[in-house]
Structure 1
């Protein structure tokens, strides 16, 4: 398993080790010791989720209040998604930037996000199944959303008709979320990166 940082502090791309033979494929997509050595701390698993979406569905941008925060470890086990990390941490040197990574059932990559980072994805296939490991349980009172179509973010979503839930489509812009005081503060966790 190889883990390398993305350009946003607290976001990591994970390339699992594949063991294939004629009957199929076995993946080591998470190893606690390797993860902790690369990221600098263990990943405390509290909940796992599965999201199934049709082509063109955009989910997010979601984040959780700090505290409690929620680290996420995400992969696409069937189909393909454009997975997007958005830095919404006030005071971060990369505040307002985003980075996209293709997650699919061929490359088998995963992404790890520190608490405080925003997360979204767009399903590229019909359907796409995304699996999340989360460091804290779901708490609707602590979850925040930012509109994935915010022109100030200018995320380069795929061409074609896109669909969102009413909640995501009606989410505030980054500026509105900032004004409402719901964006987290940046706390560097990976000095020297």
Structure 2
């Protein structure tokens, strides 16, 4: 696997080594020893999640606050998404900045998002199956997030607002300037 750091410290893009032949392909999608060596610390994933979405669905920007914060290792097994991570770590030199990458069944890339980030994605293909590992259990009382269209974040989601399918819950998320203490 190839590890490429992003401009946001701790956020990395992982590209697996793919073995192709006339029968198809094979790749190792996760190896705890190699992954933790690349990170430089031990990540202990405790929960796997999967979502199915159609074109234009935007999920995010979500986070878990305080002691329930989560690091995530995300990937797409069907389709293509634009995946976005926003640095919300107090004192970080890249606080409020974001990184985006296209993840797809074609490139098989993964994005590791450390604790202290908001996360979201938009489906670019007709459908997408999105999978992610979390290093902490989901806790409803620790839910938080930021509005996807926050002008301060200035995220280009790659589609016009009329093409987006956003949940009512996500439409009510605050802008960064109004979010208060996010626990990072």
TM-score, normalisation: structure 1? 0.91
CA displacement at 1:82 relative to structure 2: 0.2
Q: Distance in 2 between matches of 1:122 and 1:177?
A: 22
Q: Deviations over 1:27-84 (max 9, x none)?
A: 2121111111111112211110001111111101111112232110000110000000
Residue 179 of structure 2: SS of its match in structure 1?
helix
Equivalent residue of 1:52, what SS?
strand
1: CA distance, partners of 2:94 / 2:10: 11
Name 2:44's counterpart in structure 1: 44
Distance 1:34 1:25 in 2: 21
**Paired residues of 2:82 and 2:103 also in contact (CA < 8 A):** yes
Q: What residue is the counterpart of 1:76 in the other structure?
A: 76
Residue in 2 that maps onto 1:67: 67
Q: Report what 2:183 is aligned to.
A: 184
Report the Cα distance in structure 2 between the residues aligned to 1:39 and 1:98, rounded to whole angstroms: 20
Residue 170 of structure 2 corresponds to 168
Alpha-carbon distance between aligned partners in 2 of 1:66 and 1:92, rounded to the nearest angstrom = 16
Measured after TM superposition, the shift of residue 7 of structure 1 is 0.6
- Which runs of no fewer than 5 residues in structure 2 stay unpaired? none
Distance 2:79 2:86 in 1: 22
1:9 alignment partner, SS class: coil
Deviation at 1:159, TM superposition (A): 2.2
State the Cα RMSD in Å: 1.1
**Alignment gaps of 5+ in structure 1:** 186-193
TM-score, reference length from structure 2 = 0.95
Distance in 2 separating the partners of 1:27 and 1:43: 21
Question: Which portions of structure 1, spanning 4 or more consecutive aligned residues, are displaced by more than 3 angstroms?
Answer: none
